[in-house]
Amino acid sequence: MTRPPKPPARPDKVSLLRYLRLFRKDILSAQPEKLYRARMAEFRTPFFRSYLVNQPDLIELVLKERPMDFPKSGRVGEGLRPLLGNSVFLTNGATWARQRRIIDPAFEGGRLRDTFPAMVAAGQAAAARLREGVVEIEEQTSHAAADVIFRTLFSIPIEHEIAAQVFSQFRAYQRSQPILNLAAFVPLPRWMPRFHRHSTRATARAIRRLITDLTAARQAEIDAGAAPDDLATKIMTTADPETGARFDTQEMVDQVAIFFLAGHETSASALAWALYLLALYPQAQERVAQEAAALPETPAFSDMSGLKFTRDVFREALRLYPPVPMLVREATRAERFRDRDIAPGSQIVLSPWHLHRHARLWEWPDDFDPDRFATRNGKSCLREAFIPFSAGPRVCTGAGFAMVEGPLLLAMLLRRWRLETVPDRDPVPVAHLTVRSRDGIWLRLTPR
């Protein structure tokens, strides 16, 4: 297969000044070409040093072997805290461990099978909402992914009054919030303002008020013994096995906010890029459509085993356009990586954006080739150089959820619609909260 358009031209060198100019607008275009070949690179600021790590054994060390020595960096959290509060995405240490003990059981084993009918209902609704003609597909995948979250988390469709308001507000937040805030580059004292846009703070407050309403209503249903058996109920009624404590309302609001971000924003991004790639490659699109045609009208969980190629398409979209392009950890003690001494407080950047397109690791790294995962190189890189959901103890709780949702929605959409690219409207990837297209992803849809 031929390769999809590369990201915007990669510069040879990038200064700190250019980073500061670009990070709010488009941090991806600031990445120099050499980083796609480097095993490790050092980036200096006046305040701290940052190290991009692309070497698989060092990534393994940070994420899996010694994760507690490399907690999440508070610098990234500065930009997300207005919305996510003290959620599991931002916490470290004992607080994080307690939160995971309460959250993880909701996503174990049979719970995924239990939520599958809600995913199917959301997929059927998404396919029915589409119309023939030129469509901005990111908006549609955002709608579909939000519908999945509300149906599985709170047993309500996207059309529910509060769900619709959260979705609308979140669309505004997603476009206004860069992946990094100024505080990610400049250490600020606690009393100093964090330079969030006024609109960003206002939208975050509005979203959290709406989530508080949903959470309070669910608690009342739980108290009355009338709550549906969904993810929200499971999480709100699970006690920490070590302390016996449950999430209070404020803690639950924090967690619902990250479920919505991680479960909606990331899925919407990956699904949109997968649809774009299928529009670019009609042969791959027809293979997905053939698998989709073999599904019953209302698929069962067991039918997912028939979507092998569709799953690989979704996996390849996650490789080329990882929704979360950079993971930032902080060294808590002196380290030595390769030939460099790493001081405590240094930022360790693990970048799916670079790792997944790394020229020393992947064969034809910029190509779209879902069949690569059946090759020796593909299988090796899948183990060592593929981290769209992070890895180790902090791997995304919903990773298994996403790998069912993505292929299912792809199949349900491709069963009803044929996709084509629109001339002169090639999408340009940029980093908002997740990897999105600068001007949307425009596709032409025709019924099958």
In the predicted structure, residue 244 carries a pLDDT above the cut 70:
yes
Q: What is the pLDDT of residues 74-97, one digit of tens each?
A: 766 666 777 888 888 888 999 999
pTM of the model: 0.89
Residue 94 confidence (pLDDT): 92
CB atoms within 10 A of CB 439: 13
Which has the minimum average pLDDT: 25-29, 169-173, 201-205, 357-361? Answer: 25-29
In the predicted structure, residue 21 carries a pLDDT above the cut 80:
no
Mean pLDDT of 347-373: 94
In the predicted structure, residue 57 carries a pLDDT above the cut 50:
yes
Residue 27 confidence (pLDDT): 58
In the predicted structure, residue 307 carries a pLDDT above the cut 90:
yes
Cα distance between residue 116 and residue 404, in whole Å: 8
Residue 26 confidence (pLDDT): 55
Q: What is the pLDDT of residues 275-301, one digit of tens each?
A: 999 999 999 999 999 999 999 999 999
Q: What is the pLDDT of residues 335-348, one digit of tens each?
A: 999 989 999 999 89
What is the largest distance, in Å, between two alpha-carbon atoms of the chain?
A: 63
Identify which has the larger pLDDT, 209 or 291: 291
Mean pLDDT of 59-68: 96
Mean pLDDT of 391-418: 94
Tally the C-alpha atoms within 13 A of residue 351's C-alpha that lie toward its C-beta.
25
Residue 283 confidence (pLDDT): 96
Identify which has the larger pLDDT, 373 or 46: 373
Mean pLDDT of 118-138: 95
CATH class of residue range 16-447: mainly alpha
In the predicted structure, residue 182 carries a pLDDT above the cut 50:
no
Which has the minimum average pLDDT: 152-166, 328-342, 413-427? Answer: 152-166
In the predicted structure, residue 1 carries a pLDDT above the cut 60:
no
CA dihedral 347, 353, 359, 363 (to 10 degrees): 140
Which run of H or E residues covers position 421?
Answer: strand 417-421
Which run of H or E residues covers position 435?
Answer: strand 435-437
Q: pLDDT exceeding 90 applies to what percent of the chain?
A: 58
Which run of H or E residues covers position 445?
Answer: strand 442-447
Identify which has the larger pLDDT, 110 or 422: 422
Residue 354 confidence (pLDDT): 92
In the predicted structure, residue 10 carries a pLDDT above the cut 90:
no
Which run of H or E residues covers position 293?
Answer: helix 282-293
Mean pLDDT rounded to a whole number for the chain: 86
By CB neighbour count within 10 A (0-12 exposed, 13-18 middle, 19+ buried), where does 86 fall?
middle
Q: What angle do CA 444, 445, 448 make, to 5 degrees?
A: 145
Q: pLDDT exceeding 70 applies to what percent of the chain?
A: 85
Q: Six-digit token pair at 260? A: 């919505």
Mean pLDDT of 92-106: 91
Q: Where are the domains of the chain?
A: 16-447
Residue 24 confidence (pLDDT): 46
Mean pLDDT of 25-33: 65
Q: pLDDT band at 192, cuts 50/70/90?
A: very low
In the predicted structure, residue 180 carries a pLDDT above the cut 80:
no
Residue 190 confidence (pLDDT): 45
Mean pLDDT of 152-156: 91
Residue 174 confidence (pLDDT): 64
CB atoms within 10 A of CB 285: 20
Which run of H or E residues covers position 349?
Answer: strand 347-350
Which one, of 41, 12, 37, 11, lies nearest residue 26 by Cα? 11
**Whole-Å CA distances, 391 to 34, 37, 110, 158, 439:** 25, 22, 22, 31, 31
Residue 199 confidence (pLDDT): 67
Residue 434 confidence (pLDDT): 82
Residue 44 confidence (pLDDT): 79
